[in-house]
Structure 1
Amino acid sequence: MKAILELGFSVNVPFKMCKMVRWILPLQGLMLNVDGASKGNPGPCGDGGLFKNPHGTVSLAFSHFYGLGYVRWWLLAIKQGLMITEIWSDPLSLVNPLHTGVAPSWDYYRWWRDVHDFVQQHGVRVSHVYREANQVADALANYACLMHCNEVFNSSRQLPRPCFPSLIGDRMGLRSFRSP
């Protein structure tokens, strides 16, 4: 550092604030944490998610491989009779269109319309969460992409091993650091 200053260069180190982020229990009903993953652009993609009750218990979880894209967690919720009250998702590309009522693109209009209708009909609150508070859903989405699988898990014990550290962290209320 001293040598840099002696050469006449100024050093400007930006200050970054870290945020503490953690998963929070839903107040009532079931919460769906959902995330997507893509391995390439374009490339194989999938999504994953889990339904949790106010005690943090996993009611149902899923990993869906879609090849080049499609989302259908709402069909799983309807088929299983799950009444979702909240959806937490870290991609703003899912959250913002559901708030504005405008599909992200024509390519996605068909599935987006179904999701939007589901959210409107059931009065589901959709919120953005940071990736650090959505790690189990992220692990499930990555599992779908890597394994090219479509699986439904009926309890937390059935989840793939990569989900366990994040699931345990959620249950213990552990915080993750997020830097901008």
Structure 2
Amino acid sequence: MLSYRPTRPPLEVFRRVFDSPTSVKVCPFIRISIAYMLWEIWKGRNSSRYAGQVMRATEIMRHVTQWLRSTHSLVPNKTKRSRSVCEAFGLWGLHIIPTQTWTTVRSVRWTPPRAGQWKLNVDGASQGNPGSSGGGGILRDSTGCILFAFSNFYNIQTNTVAEAMAIRDGLFLCEEQNITNIVLESDSKVLVDMLRADSCPHWRLKNIWADIMRCRGRITTITHQFREGNQTADALAAHGVRSRRRTVFSFWQDMPLEARGAHRLERLGIPSLRIHRTPLPASPRQWRIAWRRSGVVTIGR
């Protein structure tokens, strides 16, 4: 008879399983299944010790298998099901189809404003959400030349609050220099929609929102940009978190190294690739509709 001697105490093994940052957390259903298996083993132990009923391992496995077969269909369709997870359940006679995804690639680039306009790109960063946060932004003309850039530290904030504070700081700098006809660009879809609607439902942003609305007349256009097309502002926001202070830059040479590199690439019009993976639609017709609407290039499943 084969015997197994664990190299670690059982409690440490289970702690590692439930605290795993990768494989086990891919499918929360696995964690629930492990807990149910332990519960069946515990019930069998108690039945044997206190009721004199012998609970064989095969009977425990039968109970666990029945439970898995009755509940695995309840796993949400959006739950990520890797091939290895599906193969593991296949050993129990459960046929779970791996989640099929299609990968799309979109070319994203920063575009300069029209002649006579200024484009203000802003971004916020929070390490922990909420956590140590900062913001940054850059104002450029139609040729891509910088008028100013800034980075700032905002203490403990969420991503949305940090982004709103960055918008406020950027507009305040524009107000100091009497700049109008501004194209405001942000990668926060939430704030862009709020600015377009001139409405702020979040009470945490009320004071910041009042400052932004005071400068609202200087903005002519509000656009949403993907993070890949907002890399200079992203680098400035990260610098604000690291430096833990407020800095205003008048020349691109004064900016942090990461921001200088991103600014040069954006000014040259060099695109970045945005890779996105989405679940594959159930039917070929739905797949064709999704592909046509995306307007992007599909490179695989």
The answer to whether structure 1 residue 80 and structure 2 residue 177 are counterparts is: yes
Q: Distance in 2 between matches of 1:63 and 1:73?
A: 10
2:114 to 18, 22, 27: 27
Matched, 1:98 2:195: yes
Moved more, 77-86 or 138-147: 77-86
Q: For residue 142 of structure 1, what is the aligned residue in structure 2?
A: 238
Q: Is the 8 A contact 1:51 1:61 kept in 2?
A: yes
1-side partners of 2:152 and 2:203: how far apart?
Answer: 22
Question: What residue number does 1:163 align with?
Answer: 259
Aligned partners of 2:175 and 2:215 also within 8 Å: no
Give distance in 2, aligned partners of 1:179 and 1:104. 32
Q: Equivalent residue of 1:113, what SS?
A: helix
The offset of 1:10, in angstroms, is 5.8
Higher RCO (C-alpha under 8 Å, 6+ residues apart): 1
Is the partner of 1:63 in helix, strand or coil?
A: strand
In structure 2, the partner of 1:15 is 102
Q: Give 1:11 shift.
A: 5.9
Report the AA paired with residue 260 of structure 2. F
CA contact (8 A) 2:137 2:233 kept: yes
Displacement of 1:76 in angstroms is: 1.3
Separation in structure 2 between the aligned mates of residue 165 and residue 53 of structure 1, nearest angstrom: 18
Give the number of aligned pairs. 175
Q: Is the 8 A contact 2:184 2:219 kept in 1?
A: no
What does the per-residue CA deviation read over 1:1-47, in whole Å, with 9 as the maximum and x for residues that have no partner? 9xx8xx98866642122100000011132110000011112212111
Using the aligned pairs only, state the percent identity: 30
Give ranges in structure 2 of 5+ residues lacking alignment: 1-82, 277-301
Q: Is 2:212 the partner of 1:125?
A: no
RMSD over aligned Cα atoms: 2.0
Between the aligned partners of 1:112 and 1:94, the Cα distance in structure 2 is: 10
Distance 2:229 2:105 in 1: 14
Per the TM alignment, residue 164 of structure 1 is displaced from its structure 2 partner at its CA by: 2.1
> Whose radius of gyration is greater, 1 or 2?
2
8 Å CA contact retained: 2:123, 2:233: yes
- More helix by percentage: 2
Residue of structure 1 aligned with 2:206, choices 89, 109, 125: 109
- Which structure dedicates a bigger proportion of its chain to strand? 1
Contact 1:31 / 1:51 at 8 angstroms: preserved in 2? yes
Give, in whole Å, the separation in 2 of the partners of 1:31 and 1:10.
Answer: 48
Within 1, Cα distance between the matches of 2:97 and 2:190?
Answer: 39
Q: What SS does the aligned partner of 2:131 have?
A: coil
The SS at the match of 2:104 is coil
Distance in 2, matches of 1:157 and 1:173, equals: 19
Aligned to 1:38: 126
Segments ≥4 residues shifted beyond 3 Å: 7-13
3-state SS of paired residue (1:86): strand
CA distance in 1, matches of 2:201, 2:103: 31
Given that residues 45 and 145 in structure 1 are in contact (C-alpha distance below 8 angstroms), is that contact kept between their aligned partners in structure 2?
yes
CA deviations 1:105-128 (Å, max 9, x no partner) are 111111112213322x22421110
SS in structure 2 opposite 1:17?
strand
Q: Distance in 2 between matches of 1:162 and 1:170?
A: 12
